[in-house]
Chains A and B, each alone.
Chain A
């Protein structure tokens, strides 16, 4: 299981596909942590728009990716982060900031990324 991890300035970028098993998630996580340490990344941009599940395992791996973290997430998954019962997700949802505040990248605003938090 491999996922490309390109760099954008001081940030690392990656995606998570759907249908990953717990074992595959852990493998990706290990490869990711290695890269974060190697490049001394100051933050991460992670696309999980194909991910449709907010179970504890998925959440835990997302939370441990890096700080700050810009998470590209589906609206229904984002709304599930504050659903009753999903306490582990809630801390993720509650710590949300506007993207340009969380991860300052020149051109965010021009790219049409707006505040939705």
Chain B
């Protein structure tokens, strides 16, 4: 139950690998195909952020259980420059990059839970969770 799948993210090919691994795990857990699409989409955004902003990092995929319900936890971790103003980054329409992604608020809305820890020079950890309905 505590198996963690780790995917190192360095290039856009690694994003595809992470998507495929997430899909396998989410399907095993019994997510509907529409939830599967949302999970893979959210993961894709986080993985692309790693490539774009940090250069390299990793994605960890695991299952979680809370009482009767189970879910998938996706952790995106990098040692990049970090986010100077996390609160601002969580506001709609804010981006320091090319501004073409969904942004963190968009990614958050695709999932049930969203946690972030980041700061200038501290890298970034984002953990997102979705529960099987």
Total interface residues in chain B, CB < 8 Å: 28
- Check if B12 sits within 8 Å of A21, measured CB to CB: yes
Residues of chain A in range 39-78 having any CB-CB distance to chain B below 8 Å: 52-57, 60, 74-77
- Check if A80 sits within 8 Å of B100, measured CB to CB: no
- Check if B37 sits within 8 Å of A53, measured CB to CB: yes
Q: Decide if A33 is an interface residue (CB 8 Å cutoff).
A: no
Q: Decide if A23 is an interface residue (CB 8 Å cutoff).
A: yes
- Residues of A participating in the B interface, judged by any CB pair closer than 8 Å: 19-23, 52-57, 60, 74-77, 79-80, 83-88
- Check if A53 sits within 8 Å of B12, measured CB to CB: no
Smallest Cβ distance from A32 to chain B, in angstroms? 19
21 pairs across A/B with beta carbons < 8 Å? A19-B16, A19-B20, A21-B11, A21-B13, A21-B16, A22-B48, A23-B12, A52-B37, A52-B40, A54-B37, A54-B41, A55-B44, A55-B48, A56-B101, A57-B44, A57-B100, A80-B37, A80-B41, A83-B38, A86-B41, A86-B102
Residues of chain B in range 78-111 having any CB-CB distance to chain A below 8 Å: 100-102, 105-110
B23 proximity list for chain A (CB < 8 A): 52
- Check if A57 sits within 8 Å of B48, measured CB to CB: yes
Q: Decide if B15 is an interface residue (CB 8 Å cutoff).
A: yes
B101 proximity list for chain A (CB < 8 A): 56-57
A52 proximity list for chain B (CB < 8 A): 23, 36-37, 40
A57 proximity list for chain B (CB < 8 A): 44, 48, 100-101
Instruction: Known contacts A22-B48, A77-B37; decide if A55 and B109 are in contact (CB<8 Å).
Output: no
